[in-house]
Chains A and B, each alone.
Chain A
Amino acid sequence: MLMAKNRNPIRYFGRKIANFLREFGEISRLLGRTFSFIPRLGRDRILLFNQMEHIGTNSLPLVIVIGFFTGMVSAWQAAYQFKGLITFSLIGSAVSRAIFIELGPVLTAIVIAGRVGASIAAELGTMQVTEQIDALESLGISPVRYLSTPRVLAATMMMPILTIFANIIALFGAFIVANFFLDISHKVFFDSVKRFFHLKDIFSGLFKSVFFGGVTALIGVHVGLKTGGGAEGVGKSSIRAFVLSAAMVLILDYILWTIIF
């Protein structure tokens, strides 16, 4: 009987669409409630600062490593594609624009989705299955105000800062490859960066990273608060938060790209 139900494609897709719409509605409501507590942030600044440290400062080493290798790989990639077609003196501009517009913000966001989105879902999921969320409610404390608002705002604020670090380190990584392996002097490399530099490139990347940060934390909170089923449920929530956040980062990237450019 169950198999027969699952085999009915109309019912199957209908259920999937209904679930998607319900979840979208829940996330939208959570977003609205999260922002409704912003006026109380002055009182809750300690919660916000703690999350800024956790999401921002503690993620910095990882962002630096990822940024450095991304920059190095993109320099090799550019050299591979330029070989025999375009002069290597333009590698600086090609790599820097790719880093500022796409690689810096998107890769940072995906790393943060793995580190922060999943950890928020696991933390809140554990709180949910061990009745700590109910305990907050029983003390007259809104879990949205106490848990969601500081996390979502901290991620929204820290993601552009992490992206700035990722951009700088990635550019440095690209320069190392260009200078040491492709024999491009620092003057040629940075002249090339400057020649095609547009402030819009950097700001568009930072603008996108604001949304990436917010959506990553929001999905982590939503998935965490919906966790059920003990330790297994917590594990599933962490994976789900990462997959959803990473997918949303890429979808948002496309949408924002079409709006900005």
Chain B
Amino acid sequence: MIEITDLRKSFDSNDVLRGIDITIHDGETVAIIGESGCGKSVLLKHIIGLMHPDSGTVTVDGISIPDAKEEVLYALRRRIGFLFQSAALFDSMTVYENVVLGLWEAGERDEDKLREIATEKLGLVGLRGILDSKPSSLSGGMKKRVGLARALAMQPQYMFYDEPTTGLDPVTSDQIDFLILSLTERLSTTNLIVTHDLFTVNRIAKRVIYLNKGLIFFDGTPQELMQSSDRQVMQFVERFVR
């Protein structure tokens, strides 16, 4: 379970998060939406301890993230899969090395087993025969899939997706959405998806949190979001409804 209480974060004079309270229960799939720069990704990075809050608490399975010792934090992160907006594949490594890096670093040295896991995880995301390719030779959608395979290799309990469809064409975006959906069903992970793509929200999320000016403006189901009479929310969903 993830519990966030009165989380505040500023960059210079810019208050990005101004007191966020969220509880995410195990097995939930929650989408965090909002305009660009509203603090969605910042919130996600606080949950895995990549950023330190100015005040407030973030706990994951009872572990206080800002106060956690480095070893505890790293052990926890191995239970969290993170798909980055840019996929963040390591350019100097092959696809295979990217996918198994976490396992290798965790002490797995059996080359046959590692190749088997890499092949299996890449198969899960619909990729085959690219184990020895370099990330630079892959398309944007393929990079996201490899990023997803890398996150899945650690058999995570939580999956965090940072803008999974941003920068992709509609067809590839649909494929990524369905991939996330099928993985969620098969792996029973707790999912947190940061996006401003309402198609993704409607397909995948069971709960939506709308961030606005550093505060939670809406917390409900995707259906409730679409039917909201609030002007601010209506403005955000208008483009999607049209």
B199 touches A (CB below 8 Å): no
Contacts of B91 in A (CB 8 A): 126, 130, 132
A-B contact count (CB 8 A): 57
B185 in the interface (beta carbon within 8 A): no
Interface status of A26 (Cβ within 8 A of chain B): no
Complex contacts, A142 vs chain B, CB 8 Å: 70, 74
| Contact between chains at B85 and A141 (CB < 8 Å) | no
Interface presence of A135 (CB below 8 A):
yes
Report Cα–Cα, A110/B78, bound state, in Å: 41
Residues in A with CB closer than 8 Å to B88 are 130-132, 134-135
The yes or no answer to A140 lying at the interface (CB within 8 A) is: yes
What chain A residues lie within 8 Å of B74 (beta carbons)? Answer: 140-142
Instruction: Assess whether A139 is interfacial by the CB under 8 Å rule.
Output: yes
Q: State the Cβ distance, B137 to closest chain A Cβ, in Å.
A: 16
Given A141-B101, A142-B74, A131 contacting B85 (CB threshold 8 A): yes
Q: Is the CB of A135 within 8 A of B90?
A: yes
Minimum distance in angstroms from A129 CB to a CB of chain B: 9
Complex A-B: 27 CB contacts under 8 Å: A126-B91, A127-B90, A130-B91, A131-B84, A131-B85, A132-B89, A132-B91, A134-B45, A134-B50, A134-B84, A134-B88, A135-B88, A135-B89, A137-B49, A137-B50, A137-B77, A138-B48, A138-B50, A138-B77, A138-B82, A139-B78, A139-B101, A140-B102, A140-B106, A140-B154, A141-B101, A146-B105
Which residues on A are within 8 Å of B, measured CB to CB?
126-127, 130-132, 134-135, 137-142, 146
Interface residue ranges, B against A (CB under 8 Å): 45, 48-50, 70, 74-75, 77-78, 80, 82, 84-86, 88-91, 101-102, 105-106, 150-151, 154
